[in-house]
Amino acid sequence: MCFLVDSHCHLASLTFEGKGPKSVGEVIARARACGVTHMLSVACTIEDYGTMMNLIKPFDGIYNACGIHPLNLEEAGAWTEEQLAACLTDEKCLALGETGLDYFYAAESREAQLDSFARQIDLACQVKKPLIIHARAAHHDTVELMRSHNARDCGGVMHCFCDEIEMARECLDLGFFISFSGIATFKAADNVREVLKYAPLDRIMVETDCPYLAPVPVRGVDNEPAFVRYTLEFIADFKGVSPKALAQQTSANFEQCFKVKLETPANTNVPEKDISIYKLEKIYNKGWPY
């Protein structure tokens, strides 16, 4: 069986409104129908983690991660290392994150972000979990903190990468993987495709970051894990490899980054019928399984 992983999604942030799927079970069923066998669902505060776990616990093949997002510092409040470490003990918890720095949306909270990010790198090294790093308009500080707090020791992934080649090179040198979202398919994202050209196949992953950033040709609708197929197929074409080869390679990279062995998920609790096919026709027509 060829696995395909959505390496970063926010299953608890989907709204289940409109024409799209009505439940997490349906989201997972639609993903599986498109060949997306596994997902890593990410929480951005400790409270979100509890909510998310209640939603995803029944389903096999769905991994989780918890961190304090740089844009959620205020609502996260005064979290402690003990509280966050407790979340990371779940058997399907693969990483600490997302954490990082975002000066694009919140330059004013730079000091608090630096403090929170540094504490989380230290904790990840301590509990030996890889990091999921969110970095936006914060190249220098991000790499500086990764270096000074020895992020190399725990490793991890730069998720939804949209910075320049220089930063990609520095992160790859620190042993990190680079994950690409639907942004890679956007017409104006030549800078991301420059990085895509540069990044070696054995160091990249694909993600949706849903419910945000739906890829072309479904840009503008609510994103969901099934749509990582579009990003995968775009990148495969761009890199001159088959979608199947890229699915296999990015799955192997996921296993290496998160120190996990992917297994065929049991269908427990995933509805097999009544999957609405809104916007999925093009994916189905492209012939799954590979």
Interacting residue ranges for Zn ion, rule: CB under 5 A: 98, 134, 209
Contact 90, 129 (CB under 8 A): no
Q: Of 68 and 275, which CB lies nearer to Zn ion in the complex structure? A: 68
Least Å distance, CB 264 to Zn ion, is: 26
Least Å distance, CB 281 to Zn ion, is: 27
Q: Of 44 and 199, which CB lies nearer to Zn ion in the complex structure? A: 44
Q: Find tokens 């427990």 and name the residue.
A: 268
Q: Of 71 and 226, which CB lies nearer to Zn ion in the complex structure? A: 71
CB-nearest residue to Zn ion: 134
Least Å distance, CB 180 to Zn ion, is: 13
DSSP type of residue 202: G
Least Å distance, CB 240 to Zn ion, is: 29
**Residue 36 CA to chain centroid, in angstroms?**
13
Q: Of 31 and 275, which CB lies nearer to Zn ion in the complex structure? A: 31
Tokens found for residue 185: 């398919």
Q: Of 4 and 65, which CB lies nearer to Zn ion in the complex structure? A: 65
Q: Compute the distance between CA of residue 211 and CA of residue 146 in angstroms, rounded to an integer.
A: 28
Q: Compute the distance between CA of residue 243 and CA of residue 236 in angstroms, rounded to an integer.
A: 5
Q: Of 26 and 98, which CB lies nearer to Zn ion in the complex structure? A: 98
Residue 81 CB coordination number (10 Å): 13
Residue 74, H or E segment: helix 73-76
Q: Which amino acid is at 194?
A: E
Least Å distance, CB 90 to Zn ion, is: 18
Least Å distance, CB 167 to Zn ion, is: 15
Q: Compute the distance between CA of residue 194 and CA of residue 238 in angstroms, rounded to an integer.
A: 11
The residue count for the chain:
290
Least Å distance, CB 70 to Zn ion, is: 9
Distant-in-sequence, close-in-space partners of 43: CB < 8 Å, separation ≥ 6: 10, 12, 49, 51, 52, 64, 65, 66, 67, 87
Tokens found for residue 169: 């090179």
Q: Of 8 and 203, which CB lies nearer to Zn ion in the complex structure? A: 8
- What are the angstrom distances between the C-alpha of 135 and each of 3, 4, 86, 254? 28, 25, 25, 20
